[in-house]
Amino acid sequence: MSKVPYVERAYGDSGLTGECAYLWTLFLMREAEVEDDGIAYDKWRSMAETLQPKEGKPVPASVHYAALENEIKKYL
C-alpha cells in the first residue's frame, strides 16, 4: 500500500479539487496494479488521464465522481 493522498474539497462545494482527484486516481491505479486487478487498473487509469494536468488545459476546480468518492471512503 502506498501513502494515502490527502482529501481537499473545492471551496463551497462537496466535490474534490482537481489536483486531489488526480492524486487519488493515481493512488488507486497503483493499488489496483499491486492487487493485479486489471479492470480496476484500467478504470482508474482512464480517469487519471482525463484529470492529468496538460499545457493549455485548466485543472478542474471541482470534480464529482461517485466511484472515486466511494473508494476514498474505504481508506479514511
DSSP codes of every residue in 8-54: -BPTTSSSBPHHHHHHHHHHHHHHHHHTT-HHHHHHHHHHHHHHS-B
**Domain count of the fold of the chain:** 1
pLDDT level of residue 11 (50, 70, 90 thresholds): confident
pLDDT level of residue 2 (50, 70, 90 thresholds): low
Identify whether 3 is part of a domain: no
Identify whether 46 is part of a domain: yes
Q: How high is the pLDDT of residue 12?
A: 80
Identify whether 51 is part of a domain: yes
- Over residues 2-31, the mean pLDDT reads 92
Identify whether 41 is part of a domain: yes
Q: Please give the residue range of the domain that contains residue 70.
A: 18-75
Identify whether 9 is part of a domain: no
